[in-house]
Amino acid sequence: MGVETSIDAAGNWRASYPGKEAASPRLLIGSHLDTVRDAGAFDGPLGVVLGIALIECLGSEKLPFAIEVIGFSEEEGVRFGLPFIGSRALVGSLDATLLNRADEQGMTVGSAIQSFGLDPANLADAKMGDDTLGYLEFHIEQGPVLEDRALPLAAVDAIAAQTRLELLFRGSANHAGTTPMRLRRDAMAGAAEWILEVEDQGRSEEELVATVGVVETKPGAANVVPGEVRCTLDVRHKDDPIRTAAVNQLLAKAGEIARRRRLSVSHRVLLEQASVCLNPFFLELVEQAIGNAGCTPNQVTSGAGHDAMILAQRVPSAMIFLRSPGGISHSPEETVLVEDVAHAIEAGVELLHLLANTPNLQRRMKSA
């Protein structure tokens, strides 16, 4: 298809399709190639394949901008507990601290890059250039909203903020048969009470979600009162103050439960990601393109994080969601409808031509 492919020092796969002129600005289209454990096939890779499909639809047509399709590495954060490693490289925020972050086997991000045959010293070359026009990402919705609306596509107006914490409840491990209930300092019982508080907090505010996704118990024996429990907490909302207030309330509740049960509790922040509003001018064009493709224009807010929230820090960014049947994602049952993918390709081609035919495009994208 006339593209040049490469892999940068962060492991991102990149394919460049030239514009009309050698000095044409560059539109990035991409998503991620990694996934979570026991997942489906569409969360991430679909967006990369759609970028390739759009270049294929152009045939030999050249636009006033080049197109670079990117398959980001390590978006999900499963291995190192840190998401967006690939996209961080494009904005230049993959620093020494992040490179020294280790996985469960003790291998650092930097060492993993080297073991893949790449050189972390070349990460500066992965940064997007000043000629970058913007970033477009197709992604499955990963939720039930579009299916509820009976719509195939939506423009994403914002990406919700998220806080990820790790809490450690400590009590006293003891024999399960000989320790009376009134004398126990059961870390699991304290963590369990707090987990129900997390559920209640998540239900207290519209669009707020709060999740405990990991619980690890020590010593982890059937006949031992748990002395230590490690939990994760994931809180999200598009309004940063609402999210922050919810996190603070849950930490205060953990402290109150611990005191009452004669436990100790501590926490550490794993991720603090502010909400991101996507570029309004780009959003307007996306809605127009969806309408031109024969679909009803509409907007949704993303409750999940995406590479777009990282790139939006530096360049105008937009997202197009595809309906998720059953609202299912991060599961082997995750899927898409073929007709929705066809609509997405058509909307993407319409968007490329809307961008190509917009006077003073670079100025309008950056001023929005």
Burial environment of residue 87 by CB neighbours within 10 A (0 to 12, 13 to 18, 19 or more) = buried
CATH topology of domain 161-273: Alpha-Beta Plaits (3.30.70)
pTM of the full structure: 0.84
Backbone angles phi, psi at 188, to 5 degrees: -65, -45
Q: Which residues of the chain have pLDDT under 50?
A: none
- Segments making up each domain of the chain, as ranges: 4-160+275-367, 161-273
Cα angle value 29/139/142 (rounded, 5°): 165
Contact indicator for 163, 180 with CB cutoff of 8 Å: no
Joined tokens for residue 42: 């569409």
Q: Do domains 4-160+275-367 and 161-273 have the same CATH topology?
A: no
The structure tokens 């990402």 sit at 137
Q: How far is the C-alpha of 354 from the C-alpha of 238, rounded, in Å?
A: 29
Tell me the sheet residues that pair with 16: 4, 68
* SS3 track for 30-63: EEECCCCCCCCCCCCHHHHHHHHHHHHHHCCCCC
Q: Do strands 299-302 and 66-72 pair parallel, antiparallel, or not at all (unpaired)?
A: unpaired
- Are 256 and 290 in contact by the 8 Å Cβ rule? The answer is no
Hey, what amino acid is at 143? Answer: G
For residue 235, what are its two tokens? 């809180």
The pair of structure tokens assigned to 344 is 């997405």
pLDDT at 368: 65
| Bridge pairing between strands 66-72 and 276-277 | unpaired
Q: What pLDDT was estimated at residue 81?
A: 85
- Give domain 4-160+275-367's CATH architecture: 3-Layer(aba) Sandwich (3.40)
Q: In whole angstroms, what is the distance from residue 89 CA to residue 259 CA?
A: 43
DSSP code per residue over 130-157: TTEEEEEEEEE--SSHHHHHT-SEEEEE
What is the DSSP pairing of strand 228-237 with strand 215-218?
Answer: antiparallel
